[in-house]
Amino acid sequence: MRAPEAEWLGSLAVSRLQVVSGKGGTGKTTVAAALALALAREGRRTLLVEVEGRQGIAQLFGTEALPYEERKIAVAPGGGEVFALAIDAERALLDYLQMFYKLGSAGRALKKLGAIDFATTIAPGLRDVLLTGKACEAVRRKDKAGRFVYDHVVMDAPPTGRITRFLNVNDEVAGLARFGPIHNQAQAVMSVLKSPQTAVHLVTLLEEMPVQETADGIEELVAAGLPVGRVVVNMVRPHHLDEEALRAAAGERRAEVARALSRAGLGGARRGGLAERLVEPLLTQAAEHAGRVELEREQRGVLEGLGLPTYELPLLGAGMDLAGLYELATELRKQGDEE
């Protein structure tokens, strides 16, 4: 029923678990959702998971808060489906206890005792183990016919500053719990996370701080042996004027600009005329634009130095909505195909 082998999105489609991180404010939830849509091509099925309890996916898709339950939230062009799940650490722990130990009632007793609360909020790393564990379970899950239930799982992950610790916590936990089921569980999760089945993407803007964090984040991921995927440059603005034209406009061609504005019906070009008075503020804005373009060029250079495949997504002027999300998904597919 579904396409057997992926020959699109380049090598990106190889990874069945796609983790999307990025500095706060770079739009990682949006990129994760667009990626889930892009991967749900030709009848494929993807699961989009969030792990920080922010209900960002529900807000993006304009639905009510997601329960702890996988539910379909979007249909991709070509019949693919996107499911979504907000993973809740406490529920994941109770599930886990039930699934592996048949601890239905004991689980409730543990909850009453405060043990579940302890495990999911205070006990070091357990929360993260549960969250990544649940995502890995979805990656490995098969139906009765032995096929994977989801072709891809896309995770809207914690921000760049915490991503390596978040993904690597199983290693630490496996070391801390040297034997026993937690140890085994942590090791099993790590075997998925450190394999080519996983790709960790970092979303950035063409600004200094996010780019610096991206560079630092990649270094940390590599040092921890976690597979780095793509850099996604988000909210890229179009460039309208080169610097030379701008200098000319601000200098010797100022009066010409005023007359052009006037010709376009925006008032008189003479000194004090409406068009003439537009020149100064328009030039100020253009100078700011040029400054930003210059900064962006520098930051692009830094990103190129990282030597990773890069996708670029445009800034959507009207703000983010469902139509914009599909637009970004199309853009990701296109760039994936060209890769």
Closest of 53, 52, 12 to residue 201, by C-alpha: 12
Size of the site for another protein (CB under 8 A): 99
Considering only residues 29-48, where is the footprint of another protein by CB under 8 A?
none
Interface residue with another protein, options 54, 108, 147, 334 (CB under 8 A): 54
Nearer to another protein, 136 or 275 (CB): 275
Interface residue with another protein, options 14, 75, 99, 209 (CB under 8 A): 209
Q: Give the CA dihedral 204, 86, 80, 327, nearest 10 degrees.
A: -30
Q: Which residue has the tokens 């005023």?
A: 258
Draw the binding track, 60-99, toward another protein (x: CB under 8 A; -: no contact).
Answer: -------------------------------------x--
Strand order in the sheet with 310-314: 71-75, 81-86, 45-50, 152-156, 17-22, 198-204, 228-236, 310-314
Draw the binding track, 220-249, toward another protein (x: CB under 8 A; -: no contact).
Answer: -----------------xx-xx--xxx-xx
Q: Which residue has the tokens 């803007």?
A: 205
Nearer to another protein, 22 or 80 (CB): 22
Nearer to another protein, 209 or 222 (CB): 209
Interface residue with another protein, options 194, 259, 310, 327 (CB under 8 A): 259
Identify whether the C-beta of residue 51 lies closer than 8 Å to the C-beta of residue 131. Answer: yes
Closest of 37, 49, 29 to residue 9, by C-alpha: 37
Q: Give the CA dihedral 95, 69, 164, 333, nearest 10 degrees.
A: 150
Identify whether the C-beta of residue 28 lies closer than 8 Å to the C-beta of residue 20. Answer: yes
Least Å distance, CB 40 to another protein, is 24
**What are φ and ψ of residue 85, in 5° steps?**
-150, 130
Least Å distance, CB 6 to another protein, is 32
53 sits in the region (left: phi over 0; alpha: psi -120 to 50; else beta) called: left
Considering only residues 106-125, where is the footprint of another protein by CB under 8 A?
106, 109-110, 113-115, 117-118, 121-125
**What are φ and ψ of residue 61, in 5° steps?**
-90, 0
Considering only residues 145-174, where is the footprint of another protein by CB under 8 A?
158-159, 161-162, 165, 169, 172-173
Task: Copy the structure tokens of residue 296.
Answer: 């962006």
Least Å distance, CB 103 to another protein, is 7
Least Å distance, CB 304 to another protein, is 19
Least Å distance, CB 51 to another protein, is 8
Nearer to another protein, 18 or 26 (CB): 26
Considering only residues 284-323, where is the footprint of another protein by CB under 8 A?
284-286, 288-289, 291-292, 295, 317-320
The answer to the question of residue 196 lying near another protein (CB under 8 A) is: no
Tally of helices (H runs) and strands (E runs) in the chain: 13, 8
Least Å distance, CB 200 to another protein, is 18
Nearer to another protein, 49 or 173 (CB): 173
151 sits in the region (left: phi over 0; alpha: psi -120 to 50; else beta) called: alpha
Least Å distance, CB 76 to another protein, is 24
Least Å distance, CB 247 to another protein, is 9
Least Å distance, CB 107 to another protein, is 9
User: What does each C-alpha distance from 292 to 281, 297, 300 come to in angstroms?
Assistant: 17, 8, 12
Interface residue with another protein, options 2, 108, 147, 270 (CB under 8 A): 270
Choose the stretch contacting another protein; rule: CB under 8 A; options: 38-46, 148-156, 190-198, 279-287.
Answer: 279-287
Q: Rounded CA gap, 259 and 279, in Å?
A: 10
Q: Rounded CA gap, 248 and 18, in Å?
A: 47
